[in-house]
């Protein structure tokens, strides 16, 4: 019997580090392309999770679905029921910063949000969701070694994709936020509460100021560099 209603894996099925893309099919692609001997350990709701090895390291990959509520469920269960120590989000982001180009990488030092996710903790103030510094430093080193274009800074994790105010993103840009996505803040908060490690690494898939965007085919190949960086960061 599985440990949770959302995950069919058994105790010990997941490695200590899990890479977490949003798309279940991208999880499948990562497992089959980069891992040796990948084993499907869960497929409930077609949210695929695999465990295999990469350069001798045992690594897992599992989809998070889209948005803060979805990743909030899956990362909570991995941290609290399956003994996972580190989750590295590998996703896409829309660029706010004018120096970012398509397929550049953002390493999320922190994650701003318009979500009410933190209210559950009943904190006597606000909370600043941040990445684990050790994972972040390894990601920077991996980007430098690979010659990847990257920036380190704040992400904006939004609950809203189709914003009724199409200019709202510019206010975040004024505060130095690098780009928008929909999951990192919940991942960072859940990791903090569980005493675990988390990092979000996102490839730029579109530019908000110019409306440039990558095709689905381009995304599949351009994300290779980000995935290799995440795999280099993965800890046993």
Catalytic positions, please? 206
Would you say 153 and 201 are in contact if contact means Cβ atoms under 8 Å apart? no
Cβ count within 10 A of residue 231: 21
Q: How far apart are CA 174 and CA 127, in angstroms?
A: 20
Q: How far apart are CA 78 and CA 97, in angstroms?
A: 33
Q: How far apart are CA 57 and CA 35, in angstroms?
A: 10
The CA angle 143-70-190, to the nearest 5 degrees, is 65
Would you say 110 and 155 are in contact if contact means Cβ atoms under 8 Å apart? yes
Pair type for strands 17-20 and 179-181: unpaired
Would you say 15 and 66 are in contact if contact means Cβ atoms under 8 Å apart? no
Give me the residues paired with residue 168 across strands. Answer: none
Listed residue (211, 26, 228) closest to 139, CA to CA: 228
Give me the residues paired with residue 179 across strands. Answer: 95, 155
Listed residue (104, 113, 128, 134) closest to 201, CA to CA: 104
Pair type for strands 86-95 and 179-181: antiparallel
């Amino acid at each position: 019997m599985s440990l949770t209603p959302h995950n069919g894996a058994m105790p010990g099925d997941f490695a200590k580090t899990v890479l977490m893309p949003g798309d279940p099919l991208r999880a499948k692609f990562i497992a089959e392309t980069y891992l040796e001997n990948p084993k499907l350990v869960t497929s409930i709701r077609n949210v695929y999770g695999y465990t295999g090895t990469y350069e001798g390291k045992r690594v897992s990959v599992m989809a998070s679905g889209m948005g803060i509520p979805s990743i909030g469920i899956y990362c909570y269960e991995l941290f609290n029921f399956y003994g996972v120590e580190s989750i590295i989000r590998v996703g896409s982001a829309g660029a706010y910063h004018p120096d970012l180009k398509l397929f550049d990488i953002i390493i999320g030092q922190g994650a701003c949000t318009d979500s009410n996710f933190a209210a559950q903790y009943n904190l006597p103030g606000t909370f600043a969701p941040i990445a684990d510094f050790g994972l972040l430093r390894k990601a920077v080193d991996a980007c430098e070694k690979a010659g990847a274009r990257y920036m380190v800074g704040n992400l904006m994790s939004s609950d809203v994709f189709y914003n009724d105010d199409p200019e709202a993103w510019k206010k975040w840009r004024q505060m130095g936020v690098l780009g928008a996505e929909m999951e990192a803040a919940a991942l960072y908060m859940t990791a903090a509460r569980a005493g675990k490690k988390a990092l979000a690494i996102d490839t730029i898939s579109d530019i908000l100021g110019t409306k440039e965007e990558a095709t689905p085919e381009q995304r599949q190949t351009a994300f290779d560099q980000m995935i290799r960086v995440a795999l280099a960061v993965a800890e046993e």
